[in-house]
Chains A and B, each alone.
Chain A
Amino acid sequence: MTMNDIQDKHTSVSDKIPAAAILASLALIFSYVEFLFPLSLGIPGIKPGLANIVVVVALYKLGVRTALMVNVTRILLAAALFGSVFSGLYSLTGGLVSFAVMAALRKTNLFSTAGVSMAGGVFHNLAQLTVAALIIESAQILYYFPLLLLAGMAAGLINGVLATWILRALRNID
């Protein structure tokens, strides 16, 4: 496995599996670090979502299908290893909605990588908040809508800037 595998956009999906596996492991490590050292900011559930740096890098470097594979693999493994069925489904909802938004915005070519990630962070939180409201059958939780919107924006933006730097570094590696 060399960086060429990550670099080459013309390989088939099966050729990307090794790169996807390595990126999924990396994303899993980020999730694990966040699990070990949770942020306590007054609102539970607010976290930087560092695993999404990897997802954004995969999206731009390997394309939509492989990035989706990385994303879903990471979420399922995280749930199995240090989460629960509940946290897994919850995280899958946020992960898939934010991924769909990022993949769509990337296609428009209107947004930068950081902008795409920012939107992804916002929609991740809004999707989870909506699911939470449906689960508890109460709209009261929407009280946290503005805070989660801003938190998702900040996290997505920071992750997006980091992903941009990583993509820049990878571009120079042959």
Chain B
Amino acid sequence: MFKKADIFLAILLLTLGFGLLALLQGFSVPGNSVAVTVDGELQGIYDLSDNRVVQIESANGHNTMEIRDGQVSMTEADCPNGDCMEFGSIRHTNQVIVCLPNKVVLTIRGSDELDSISY
């Protein structure tokens, strides 16, 4: 069923996929804050140590983000499929939650020192 080129491509993809995954895991540490951007514009940065609920208004709709015990999750969205709520909770640097229809992005950030390494 398989040919040589299949195997070669599969090994290439597996190496790339798992390699990058390992690299991301390696740089991943618990973050300090969450950055909220709407349509590419930074709306605000919130400290992860403060439990709070943040309402995010965008041109296309409305989202609700919750910070609890150092973790961030999207708890409400008025988009049709609600994909962003399925991301679960994020807490490590560079992890993201995206709401595509509303163009809302939540990104976990580390301290400045860590930022300079991971960006």
Contact of B72 with A by CB under 8 A: no
- Collect the chain A residues with CB atoms within 8 Å of residue B84's CB: 44
Q: Which of A43, A115, A141, A144 contacts B3 (CB 8 A)?
A: A115
Interface 1/0s, chain A 138-156, versus B by CB < 8 A?
A: 1011011111011001000
Is A115 in contact with B94, judged by CB distance below 8 angstroms? no
Quick one: which of B2, B16, B94, B105 contacts A114, CB cutoff 8 A?
B2
Q: Would you call B95 an interface residue if the criterion is a C-beta within 8 Å of the partner chain's C-beta atoms?
A: yes
Q: How far apart are the CA atoms of A161 and B83 in the complex, in Å? A: 29
Contact of A146 among B20, B95, B101 (CB under 8 A): B20
User: Which B residues are CB-close (under 8 A) to A113?
Assistant: 1
Residues of A within 8 A of B2 (CB): 112, 114-115
Task: Kindly state the separation between the CA atoms of A138 and B96 in the bound complex, as whole angstroms.
Answer: 11
Contact of B17 among A40, A43, A90, A149 (CB under 8 A): A149
User: Beyond A146-B21, A153-B13, is A161–B81 a contact (Cβ under 8 Å)?
Assistant: no
Asked if A132 and B87 make an inter-chain contact with CB atoms under 8 angstroms apart, the answer reads: no
Q: Is A25 an interface residue (CB 8 A)?
A: no
CB–CB B98/A136 < 8 A: yes
Contact A143 B80 (CB under 8 A): no
B-binding residues in A (CB < 8 A): 40, 42-45, 84, 86-87, 90, 108, 110-115, 118-119, 122, 132, 135-138, 140-141, 143-147, 149-150, 153, 157, 161, 164
Given contacts A44-B83, A115-B3, 8 further A-B contacts (CB under 8 A): A84-B80, A110-B4, A114-B6, A118-B10, A143-B96, A146-B16, A146-B18, A153-B14
Give 3 nearest A-B pairs by CB, closest first: A137-B40, A115-B6, A44-B83
